Structure 1
């Protein structure tokens, strides 16, 4: 797999500038085109039985103007950063649910950059869960202030022998080739450590055939939560990227994430590449 087109969310969260900078770094390293995506949905108009007829139209107009202004500000910020970095760019801007716009635009992209959970979602910024579960593309969740760049630093692959882990590892190959090396980690009960070591050795060998220097390590499960074990090990390795499958299930019309996936999204201070 190669990455030739990146989408980056231009939502107005506190990490937008850092996300734009990283997107430009990745576009340069991967020789990829960078497309900014700005979207803002209209929030529900408050209803009042006495004033509804007179006020609803005015409020709708006001909300639309505010949404259009936010999209315009996102575009200006994106184009300013991209121009300074001489990146090849494009722009998509709409007054619509942000995750819906990103997921549709993913048809012409290889990787999507979004913020982690924050107070702009879901109307002013894309919910990362909706993008991970709906885009059909790998998603790089960028914290507001990443501790390190995923380029030139060790990468951690949080492995569980599953479809989701295999998809995430394959999708991450272009970034893993830009990392210093890769560490394949699994957390499992002690009685499953032997089989886990065999599985991880297979993954490390596969990465090696793709030109990625890789090692493997099994962490025996203890009282510390799995996500925290993975994050602490990534910190100890001075990693810049964590790669993980996204696990969850559909409850009525909403995706409910598994505990490890949810904790990684909430707590990681490193860039987190997820696929489902």
Structure 2
């Protein structure tokens, strides 16, 4: 499997520029086409406007003009980074909810590239958690200041057998083949049975069949949470990418992340490839 088509959410600013640089590198390395996406919606109405029956025409016009300017800046940044004879790309934009627009447009993407902990979400950028849970597609989350590139550096696979981890592993194959090294890490609590050496050996053999040589770390949890333990392991190996299942569920109409996924999303300075 390769990434035939990658969808990247674009917004102006240093973090957005970093995402676009990674996408250009990925497009060249995997010969994938790239869809740039941006959407903008105005924030909720001020209390006074709500009591008065809605936003005034002047305020609506100001919001619309500000959104148009932001979309133009995003398009300019995308064109600057992802155009040229070696790049196949196209641009889509909309006024409205960025998260809903991203989820809708992700139907024909092999991979979605988003900013993690993006200060512009939810009005100027998609919410990465909602996209992860709602899109049915793997998501590559880029921190505001990533410690390393997710392309060509060491990669860590956080393995706990289940559909989420399996989907993440399959989705990460193109990046794993580009990695300088791969380490599979499985972490269990002290009272939890280990995954079994046979299963981990089969996983290493499966990766080898895809041309990926991986080392195995089977560890027990001592003091840190599983998420923080994974981050420590990734830092020790100098990783640019963590591949993991993205666990979550709905409660009272809100997306709730599992503890390990929450720790990774909230604390990682390393790029994350997650699948739900």
Q: TM-score, normalised by structure 1?
A: 0.94
Matches within 5 A, 1:35-184: 35-48=35-48, 52=52, 56-83=56-83, 86-184=86-184
Deviations 1:21-69 (A, max 9, x none): 0000000000011111011112222243799369622211211111121
Question: Residues of 2 paired with 1:166 and 1:217: CA distance?
Answer: 18
Question: Residues of 2 paired with 1:53 and 1:165: CA distance?
Answer: 48
Compute the RMSD of aligned alpha carbons: 2.0
Cα pair 2:155 2:179 within 8 Å, conserved = yes
Q: TM-score, normalised by structure 2?
A: 0.94
Cα pair 1:45 1:60 within 8 Å, conserved = no
Q: Which moved more, 1:198-207 or 1:120-129?
A: 198-207
Structure 1 residues 251 and 191 mapped into 2: Cα distance closer, same or farther (>3 Å)?
Answer: closer
Q: Which moved more, 1:112-121 or 1:189-198?
A: 189-198
Q: Which moved more, 1:43-52 or 1:230-239?
A: 43-52
Please give the secondary structure, in 1, of the residue aligned with 2:164.
helix
Alignment coverage as a number of residue pairs: 276
Question: Residues of 2 paired with 1:101 and 1:266: CA distance?
Answer: 24
Q: CA deviation at 1:210?
A: 1.3
Q: Counterpart in 1 of 2:201?
A: 201
Cα pair 1:12 1:124 within 8 Å, conserved = no
Question: Residues of 1 paired with 2:30 and 2:184: CA distance?
Answer: 23
Structure 1, unmatched stretches of 5+, are none
Question: Residues of 2 paired with 1:188 and 1:8: CA distance?
Answer: 34
Q: CA deviation at 1:266?
A: 1.2
Question: Residues of 2 paired with 1:33 and 1:231: CA distance?
Answer: 31
Question: Residues of 2 paired with 1:100 and 1:204: CA distance?
Answer: 38
Deviations 1:111-130 (A, max 9, x none): 11000013211011111001
Structure 2, unmatched stretches of 5+, are none
Please give the secondary structure, in 1, of the residue aligned with 2:239.
coil
Q: CA deviation at 1:249?
A: 1.5
Q: Counterpart in 1 of 2:5?
A: 5
Please give the secondary structure, in 2, of the residue aligned with 1:204.
helix
Q: Counterpart in 2 of 1:258?
A: 258
Deviations 1:185-215 (A, max 9, x none): 0110345454343332222111111111112
Q: CA deviation at 1:177?
A: 1.0
Q: Counterpart in 1 of 2:215?
A: 215
Structure 1 residues 210 and 73 mapped into 2: Cα distance closer, same or farther (>3 Å)?
Answer: same
